[in-house]
């Protein structure tokens, strides 16, 4: 989401005639778009803020320093108190004030813009990045689920869905500009609901399918779908339309029902497995990726075993695995029976080892398969080779002409190195 929002902010700059600086020291504006979801992301952002504040102080540089995103939303004016060199703090709901901030910088004005004034989230019109063949299209924002470990509902607010016509317009626009793959975005993407005409997520997918195809967009993905909100009608629409990629990111978080309950997830491990089964029988060859959170307060060894068993049953193609870090302001922050750091790491290492085993086995079994790929660019290691990706998000390196970048081709996986396939020939 931050990536999409950064593109939208860059577009606003471009439309006003701004160009990218070679580095921060030569810029007139430095904008840091921050993320609060993980503690590590916040720590990194603090490091960057301190770096740019230090530059301003030490070299008496005059650039305007703007802090945007979730951290700006969460900490507000406190950021300015801690870092007096920061000029503007622009939370996720105050992005619509960005043109005003730019204007003030352009005029050399020191007027104070109250970025606390605009509490309602509004969607940017476009999130397109010049020259890209893949684009994010935000369709909803915020979350009402309040999973006990998650800070998103506090920094992104309650769910707001985007006007379907606006979404279709953006898809038409990016398609015309050469985008071939889009990812519909939302913190809780499948709880999309446009109240004015009752369009829910599956109805939106139904609208999107013909628009995407007409506009030249051949692959549509979505992130992140909550298993608790995954409806039968969504599965049906996906089954009817090949434009929806046969790979779904479905964050399970844990395999133990007692932990899922403590996390305030709204499904059980059994329901998750049932859902995976329903999707598999409707979508031929579909693969899954997931998020797994270990070391939640009170988690027992038996709970870990249940997670490992669930992983064994589903066999995710890949997972984002992490251990619990308490976030102040969330319910889980105050839960007793925290797991010791060492034990959390040990449990996480077992989950990672099992995932590596599954990924490796699934990928090896694919050697010899013939797939359609989107050609994304030139390989960094060899200028004669192209980087391509399948609809299942598998990376394949293949020799081929530069003229094919941005189009689709067909190839056969001949070998595997790490998690990257190689192919000998690319057929247009």
3-class SS string, 307-365: HHHHHHHHCCCEEEEEECCCCCCCHHHHCCCCCCHHHHHHHHHHHHHHHHHHHHHHHHC
> Among 60-68, 148-156, 198-206, 338-346, which window interacts with ligand SF4 (CB under 6 A)?
148-156
Using the rule CB under 6 A, give the single segment among 28-36, 110-118, 140-148, 305-313 that binds ligand SF4.
140-148
Give how many residues touch ligand SF4 by CB under 6 A.
10
Among 34, 183, 188, 234, binds ligand SF4 (CB under 6 A): 188
Among residue numbers 150 through 169, which ones bind ligand SF4 (CB under 6 A)?
Answer: 150, 152-153
Least Å distance, CB 226 to ligand SF4, is 5
Of the pair 143, 171, the CB lying nearest ligand SF4 is at 143
| 124 near ligand SF4, judged by CB under 6 A | no
Rule CB under 6 A: is residue 94 a binding residue for ligand SF4?
Answer: no
* Closest listed residue to residue 124, CA positions, set 115, 133, 135, 114: 135
Smallest distance from ligand SF4 to CB 90, Å: 21
Of positions 145, 190, 199, 289, contacts ligand SF4 by CB under 6 A: 145
126 near ligand SF4, rule: CB under 6 A = no
Compute the distance between CA of residue 329 and CA of residue 340 in angstroms, rounded to an integer. Answer: 21
At its nearest, how many Å lie between ligand SF4 and the CB of residue 31?
24
Candidates 4-12, 72-80, 104-112, 142-150: pick the segment binding ligand SF4 (CB under 6 A). Answer: 142-150
Q: Which is nearer to ligand SF4, 104 or 224 (CB)?
A: 224
Stretch that binds ligand SF4, among 24-32, 141-149, 313-321, 418-426 (CB under 6 A): 141-149
Q: Which is nearer to ligand SF4, 144 or 415 (CB)?
A: 144
Closest distance between ligand SF4 and the C-beta of residue 283, in Å? 23
Residue 319 is a binding residue for ligand SF4 (CB under 6 A): no
Calpha distance 266→145 (Å, rounded): 9
By CB under 6 A, tell whether 138 contacts ligand SF4: no
> Do the strands 395-399 and 420-423 form a parallel or antiparallel pair, or are they unpaired?
parallel
Q: How far apart, in whole angstroms, are the C-alpha atoms of residue 161 and residue 342?
A: 41
Q: What are phi and psi of 342, to 5 degrees?
A: -60, -40
User: Based on CB atoms, which residue is closest to ligand SF4, 66 or 143?
Assistant: 143
d(CA 131, CA 201): 29
- Residue nearer to ligand SF4 on the CB measure, 73 or 226: 226
Q: Is 39 in the site for ligand SF4 (CB under 6 A)?
A: no
Residues 163-167: contacts with CB within 8 Å, 24+ apart?
Answer: 163/194, 164/194, 164/197, 164/199, 164/204, 164/207, 166/123, 166/125, 167/137, 167/139, 167/204, 167/208
186 binds ligand SF4 (CB under 6 A): no
Quick one: which of 143, 248, 269, 375 contacts ligand SF4 (CB under 6 A)?
Answer: 143
Determine, following the binding rule CB under 6 A, whether residue 146 of this chain makes contact with ligand SF4.
yes
Residues numbered 208 to 237 that lie near ligand SF4 (CB under 6 A) are: 226
- CA 321, CA 318: separation in Å to the nearest integer? 9
β-bridge pairing 199-200 and 193-194: antiparallel
18/333 with CB nearer ligand SF4: 333
Q: In what order do the strands lie in the sheet with 219-223?
A: 134-138, 181-185, 219-223
Collect all residues with Cβ–Cβ distance below 8 Å to 46 and sequence separation of at least 6.
Answer: none
Nearer to ligand SF4, 86 or 275 (CB): 275
Q: Binding of ligand SF4 at residue 256 (CB under 6 A)?
A: no
Query: What would the x/- binding string for ligand SF4 be over residues 352 to 381, using CB under 6 A?
Result: ------------------------------
Given the complex with ligand SF4, which of 152 and 262 has the nearer CB atom?
152
Contacting residues toward ligand SF4, per CB under 6 A: 143, 145-147, 150, 152-153, 187-188, 226
């Amino acid at each position: 989401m931050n990536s999409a929002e950064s593109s939208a902010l860059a577009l606003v700059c471009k439309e006003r005639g701004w160009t990218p600086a070679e580095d921060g020291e030569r810029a007139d504006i430095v904008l840091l778009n921050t993320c609060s979801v993980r503690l590590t992301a916040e720590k990194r952002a603090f490091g960057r803020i301190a770096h740019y504040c230090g530059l301003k102080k030490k070299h008496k540089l005059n650039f305007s320093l703007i802090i945007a995103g979730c951290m700006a939303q969460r900490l507000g004016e406190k950021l300015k108190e801690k870092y007096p060199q920061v000029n503007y703090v622009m939370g996720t709901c105050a992005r619509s004030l960005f043109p005003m901030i730019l204007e003030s910088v352009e005029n050399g004005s020191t007027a104070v813009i109250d970025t606390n004034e605009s509490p309602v989230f509004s969607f940017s019109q476009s999130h397109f990045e010049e020259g890209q063949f893949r684009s994010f299209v935000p369709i909803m924002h915020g979350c009402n689920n309040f999973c006990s470990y998650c800070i998103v509902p506090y920094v992104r607010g309650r769910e707001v869905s985007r006007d379907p016509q606006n979404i279709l317009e953006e898809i038409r626009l990016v398609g015309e500009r050469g985008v071939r793959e889009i990812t519909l975005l939302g913190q809780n993407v499948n709880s999309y609901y446009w109240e004015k005409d009752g369009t829910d997520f599956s109805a939106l997918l139904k609208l999107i399918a013909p628009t995407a195809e007409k506009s030249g967009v051949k692959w549509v993905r979505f992130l992140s779908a909550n298993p608790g909100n995954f409806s039968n009608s969504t599965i049906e629409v996906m089954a009817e339309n090949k434009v929806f990629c046969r790979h779904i990111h479905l964050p399970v978080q844990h395999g133990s029902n007692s932990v899922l309950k403590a996390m305030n997830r709204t499904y059980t491990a059994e329901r998750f497995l049932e859902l995976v089964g329903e999707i598999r029988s409707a979508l031929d060859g579909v693969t899954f990726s997931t998020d797994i959170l270990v070391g939640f307060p009170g988690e027992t060894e038996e709970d870990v075993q249940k997670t490992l068993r669930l992983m064994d049953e589903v066999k995710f193609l890949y997972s984002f695995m992490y251990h619990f870090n308490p976030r102040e302001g969330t319910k889980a922050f105050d839960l007793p029976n925290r797991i010791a750091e060492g034990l959390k790491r040990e449990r996480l290492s077992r989950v990672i080892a099992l995932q590596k085993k599954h990924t490796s086995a699934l990928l090896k079994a694919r050697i010899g398969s013939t797939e359609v790929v989107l050609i994304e660019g030139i390989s960094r290691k060899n200028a004669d080779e192209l980087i391509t990706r399948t609809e299942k998000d598998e990376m394949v390196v293949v020799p081929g002409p530069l003229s094919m970048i941005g189009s689709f081709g067909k190839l056969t996986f001949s070998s595997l190195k790490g998690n990257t396939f190689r192919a000998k020939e690319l057929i247009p």
